[in-house]
Amino acid sequence: MLIGEFAKRVGVSTDTIRFYGKVGFFSSSRSENGYRHYTEKDIETADLIASGKSIGFSLREILAFSQEMADGVLDHARAQESLQSKINLIDERIASLKRVRKLAQQQLDYCRAVEAQELSV
């Protein structure tokens, strides 16, 4: 599949796809005329990028992670270590989010209480 169709399928611009390519993502196969080609595996990679980005990982982190996933078959120990540290990081982020959520909830409760009081005066 060519870059236009690929970009449409994963929901980003062709410029963004080329940029991701420069960073190191995707198989870099080209046809004779120089056109880039993308596969279903590249779609998976693009989905991984989207997921990674949505939870706050940088492109380089996602690249390192996806390469470790690919190397997983060869180097179990390192892959497991990396995956475990990623999971720990995610757990920390979830904990952080929950703390801030609690703050916001308290503020919201306080807002509502003040409002109720004002209405009753």
Partner DNA sequence: GTAAACCTTGGAGTACGCTCCAAGGTCCAG
Partner DNA sequence: CTGGACCTTGGAGCGTACTCCAAGGTTTAC
Q: Residue 30, CB half-sphere, CA atoms under 13 Å: how many?
A: 7
The C-alpha atoms of residue 35 and residue 29 are separated, in whole angstroms, by 9
Q: Binding string to its own copies for residues 73 to 92, with x set by CB under 8 A, is what?
A: x--x--xx--xx-xx--xx-
Q: Nearer Cβ to its own copies, position 2 or 94? A: 94
60 part of the interface to DNA, by CB under 7 A: yes
The C-alpha atoms of residue 77 and residue 73 are separated, in whole angstroms, by 10
Q: How far is the CB of 22 from its own copies (least distance, A)?
A: 24
| 3-class secondary-structure state, position 48 | helix
64 part of the interface to DNA, by CB under 7 A: no
Q: Among 40, 100, 120, 121, indicate the residue that binds its own copies (CB under 8 A).
A: 100
Which bin fits 34, alpha (ψ -120 to 50), beta or left (φ > 0)? Answer: left
Question: Residue for token digits 């449409």?
Answer: 8
The C-alpha atoms of residue 88 and residue 29 are separated, in whole angstroms, by 36
Q: Which does 99 bind (CB under 5 to 8 A by kind): its own copies, DNA, none?
A: its own copies
Q: Nearer Cβ to DNA, position 58 or 88? A: 58
Q: Name the site residues for its own copies (rule: CB under 8 A).
A: 51-52, 54-56, 69, 72-73, 76, 79-80, 83-84, 86-87, 90-91, 93-94, 96-101, 103-105, 107-108, 111-112, 114-115
